[in-house]
C-alpha cells in the first residue's frame, strides 16, 4: 500500500515537472520571438547602405555612431523636437484618457441615473467605430477652436476614450464589491475620500495597463498628427520617421531610418518598465484588500 502511494506521488511529481517544462519552454519561445525583431532592428541600425543590401548578418556593423550623428544633425528633420513632442503628446494623452475614464467607469458602476444603460450602449458603439469616420468633423472642430498646428489638438481627443472606459468598468466589476463603498458611506466617508482611498488603490493595476496602452497608441499614432501638424518643429516621431524614410529611400540609405526607429522605441520600453512595477504593486495591494 505504501509502495502504491509513493508511486502515485512520483507520477504526480513527474506530471508537474513535465507541465512546468512545457510552460517554461513556451514562455521562453514567445520571449525569443518577441525580442528577435528588436534584435534585428538594433543590428540594422549599426550598418550602412552597402551592408544592408547584403544578406543579413547577426554581427553588428561599424556605422552606429555615424548613423546616430546623421540622424541628430539632419537639419530638415529635428529629431530632438520630435522626441519632446511625442513625449508631451503620448504622456498627456495617457494621463487624460485614464483620468477621465476612471471617473466615467466609476459613475457607470456605482451610480444609478437616468439613461445609464443608454450611455453604456453609446460607449460600446463608439468602441467599434473607426477613427477615420470622425476625421472630417474632428478637423472642423479643431479649426473652429483655433488649434491647428497645436499639440493640444492631439491630446484633447483622449478625453473620450471608450476602450479605456470599458476596460476599467469591466475590471471594476471584478475587483470592487459595492459593499466596500456602502460600508465607507455608512462610516461617514465622503465620495472623494472613498474614491481616493478605496477605488484608486484597487484600480491601480488596470490604470497602469491602460496608461501603457494609451501611451503606446499615442506614441505610434501617425494619422492624426500628419493631418493636424504642419510646422516641422511640432511634428511627432512617427511623422518624422515617415519623412526620413521617404527622403532616404531614393538614396537607399536606410541605416539612418533604422537608427531613428531604434531611438523611438526606447522611451516606450522605459515607460513599460516603470509601470510594470506599478502593476505588480497594485496587484499585491488589491490582494490585501480582498483578504481583509
**170-184, 217-231, 265-279: least confidently modelled range:** 265-279
| Contact status, residue 71 vs residue 263, Cβ threshold 8 Å | yes
Please write the tens of the pLDDT for every residue from 131-187.
777 788 888 888 888 888 888 888 988 888 888 898 888 888 888 888 888 888 888
What count of other Cβ atoms lies within 10 Å of the Cβ of residue 48?
17
Average pLDDT of the chain is: 81
Return the sign of the alpha-carbon dihedral for residues 253, 259, 261, 264: negative
**DSSP letter at 129?**
S
The pLDDT of residue 36 is 86
Q: How far apart are CA 257 and CA 243, in angstroms?
A: 10
Q: What are 206's three cell numbers?
A: 488596470
User: Which pTM was predicted?
Assistant: 0.80
Which of the four pLDDT bands, split at 50, 70 and 90, describes residue 98? Answer: very high
Cα–Cα distance for residue pair 70/259, rounded to 1 Å: 9
Lowest mean pLDDT among 56-70, 117-131, 167-181, 273-287: 273-287
> Residue 11: CA atoms inside 13 Å, Cβ hemisphere, count?
6
Amino acid at each position: 500500500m505504501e509502495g502504491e502511494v509513493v508511486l502515485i506521488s512520483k507520477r504526480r511529481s513527474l506530471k508537474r515537472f513535465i507541465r512546468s517544462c512545457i510552460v517554461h519552454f513556451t514562455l521562453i519561445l514567445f520571449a525569443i520571438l518577441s525580442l528577435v525583431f528588436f534584435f534585428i532592428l538594433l543590428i540594422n541600425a549599426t550598418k550602412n547602405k552597402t551592408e544592408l543590401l547584403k544578406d543579413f548578418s547577426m554581427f553588428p556593423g561599424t556605422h552606429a555612431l555615424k548613423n546616430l550623428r546623421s540622424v541628430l544633425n539632419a537639419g530638415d528633420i529635428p529629431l530632438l523636437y520630435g522626441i519632446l513632442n511625442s513625449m508631451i503628446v503620448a504622456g498627456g494623452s495617457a494621463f487624460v484618457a485614464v483620468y477621465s475614464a476612471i471617473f466615467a467607469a466609476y459613475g457607470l458602476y456605482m451610480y444609478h441615473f437616468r439613461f445609464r444603460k443608454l450611455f453604456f450602449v453609446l460607449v460600446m458603439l463608439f468602441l467599434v467605430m473607426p477613427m477615420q469616420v470622425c476625421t472630417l468633423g474632428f478637423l472642423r472642430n479643431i479649426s473652429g477652436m483655433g488649434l491647428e498646428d497645436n499639440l493640444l489638438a492631439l491630446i484633447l481627443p483622449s478625453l473620450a476614450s471608450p476602450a479605456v472606459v470599458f476596460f476599467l468598468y469591466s475590471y471594476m466589476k471584478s475587483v470592487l464589491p459595492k459593499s466596500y463603498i456602502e460600508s465607507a458611506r455608512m462610516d461617514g466617508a465622503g465620495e472623494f475620500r472613498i474614491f481616493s482611498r478605496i477605488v484608486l488603490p484597487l484600480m491601480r493595476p488596470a490604470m497602469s495597463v491602460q496608461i501603457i496602452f494609451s501611451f503606446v497608441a499615442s506614441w505610434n499614432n501617425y494619422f492624426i498628427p500628419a493631418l493636424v501638424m504642419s510646422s516641422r518643429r511640432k511634428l511627432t516621431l512617427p511623422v518624422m520617421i515617415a519623412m526620413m524614410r521617404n527622403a532616404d529611400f531614393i538614396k537607399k540609405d536606410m541605416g539612418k531610418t533604422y537608427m531613428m526607429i531604434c531611438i523611438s522605441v526606447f522611451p516606450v520600453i522605459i515607460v513599460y518598465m516603470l509601470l510594470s512595477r506599478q502593476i505588480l504593486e497594485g496587484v499585491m495591494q488589491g490582494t490585501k484588500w480582498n483578504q481583509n
